[in-house]
Amino acid sequence: MIELKPKFCYTAAGILIHENKVLLVKHKKLKIWLNPGGHIEAGELPHEAAQREFLEETGVFVKAYSPGKTLSDIDSEYLPSPILSNLHWVCHENFASRQKDPKNYVLHPKWPKGCEQHLGFLYLVKPVADTNFVEDKVETDGIGWFNRSEIADLETRENIRKEIEFAFHLVQ
């Protein structure tokens, strides 16, 4: 018998630190604060997905960039690099259902795309125009700017706090 591996979906997110604050959204399904992002669409590059998702969720036009001096600064053949990538579980229930009956499994209603894990790419982004945001009320339950000291008290996960702290460190 073949051992089933978790199905993963590719995702990308942007992290905007502007005037010593980070712009975050409160995810409607997860009920936590995180960086704007989502699934990478067919034919889309990861940094493009981060830019698109950021705009969709915040109304802020951004451009992904690599920290420090990179080849992408001088040659358009090179793309911005993510500052982090991670693989994390999003739906153990989908995986368990698929393991139980690989041909006729039922997807969890909260995760209808069938994702079991997300392979995520996190990009630093900078604003292309102003930073006035507009909340996407379909996918989020809040949006706001947070300074570095407020991150410790946010309703989020520890790994997200670490990612935000790492981004603050990179942009100093």
Give the whole-angstrom CA distance, residue 121 versus residue 83: 8
Average pLDDT over residues 4-8: 92
List the one residue out of 110, 87, 107 whose CA is nearest residue 97: 107
**What global pTM score does this model have?**
0.90
Pairing of strands 8-18, 117-127: parallel
Question: Do residues 161 and 31 lie in contact, with contact meaning Cβ atoms separated by under 8 Å?
Answer: no
Average pLDDT over residues 16-42: 95
- Residues 6 or more apart whose Cβ sits within 8 Å of residue 103: none
Distances (CA, A) of 19 to 51, 75, 96: 19, 28, 45
pLDDT tens digits along 54-67: 999 999 999 999 98
pLDDT of residue 8: 93
pLDDT tens digits along 30-76: 899 999 999 999 999 999 999 999 999 999 999 999 987 777 666 67
- Residue listed under structure tokens 């940094």: 47
| CATH (one of 3.40.50.720, 3.20.20.80, 3.30.750.210, 3.90.79.10) for 8-171 | 3.90.79.10
